Amino acid sequence: MEPLQFDIPAIVRQKAPNAHIPGFVLRYLERITHVEQMNRFLRNNPELHGYEFIRKVVAEELNCTASIHGVENIPQTDRPVIFVGNHPLGGLDGMIIAEMIHAHRPLPLRVIVNDLLMFMRPIAELWVPISKLGGQSREYARLYQEAWEQEQDMLTFPAGACSRRQKIDGRWQIQDLEWQKSFVQKAQQLKRDVVPIYFEGHNSRFFYNLAYWRKRLGIKLNIEMLYLVDEMYGANGQHFAVHVLPPIPYTTFDGSRTPKEWAEYVKQIVYANNHTGC
């Protein structure tokens, strides 16, 4: 059986079947998405999948480490919970947090992600895809609903995108955009406690400058998203700290605030743990 390979032209044809992409653009995409390095890793590790795949990518391919603070806040019951966190890196942080939860929880875990990550087939079984390019398909909507109906934990990044540099209280900070309310609604509906997580980390100055000028120029297409794999490889050798905060009982989310206001409330709890100055 041939090892699974990343194929940028095939991915582009699937995501944008009517678009004509010049060859030089495809070659540039292959370079910034590190296709050669990723395919080499897949060829050398054809047997890996799931959390074993994540551990080896983080520890050996990227040479990254992480420390966990507040591990006692991870519930030890067999009742499903919802993990929510900030999303500073846009990929690597999700893998590190997912592996951490898996190591300390008795239930399976699914992670709500950009559907482009479904092309990472060795770990696609862990993901619940959400389309960021175009509308949500019926199939994705079905998978999303089914995931919540299972007796399993869910990890979601309510901003729906990685953090951006923003001016907050008169100074530039790296922080998530507005958190969406869906996790609050699911907590209310399914009676699931919410466990907030703060991940220390940031992408490169290039990434934030690109995002800033793309927005200033009125370009709606999220161009910087194309560089997230490059950012991941750029994190080679770094150490990250993950802070697990005390669970928030689902009964907290009562009618005194709207779901959107409760989502902002949880976001503020997460960022109150920010001691990095980012």
Q: In this structure, what DSSP letter does residue 272 have?
A: T
In the three-class reduction of DSSP (H, G, I as helix; E, B as strand; rest coil), residue 201 is classed as coil
Write down all domains in the chain, each with its CATH number in brackets.
48-271 (3.40.1130.10)
pLDDT (tens digit per residue) in 202-256: 999 999 999 999 999 999 888 999 999 999 999 999 999 999 999 999 999 999 9
- pLDDT at res. 16: 76
Mean pLDDT of the chain: 92
User: What φ, ψ does residue 106 adopt, rounded to 5°?
Assistant: -80, -15
| Sign of the alpha-carbon torsion through 108, 244, 53, 230 | positive
Element (H, E) at 233: helix 228-234
- Which parts of the chain register pLDDT below 70? 1-4, 132-136, 274-278
Q: Whole-prediction pTM value?
A: 0.92
Place of tokens 């995931």: 147
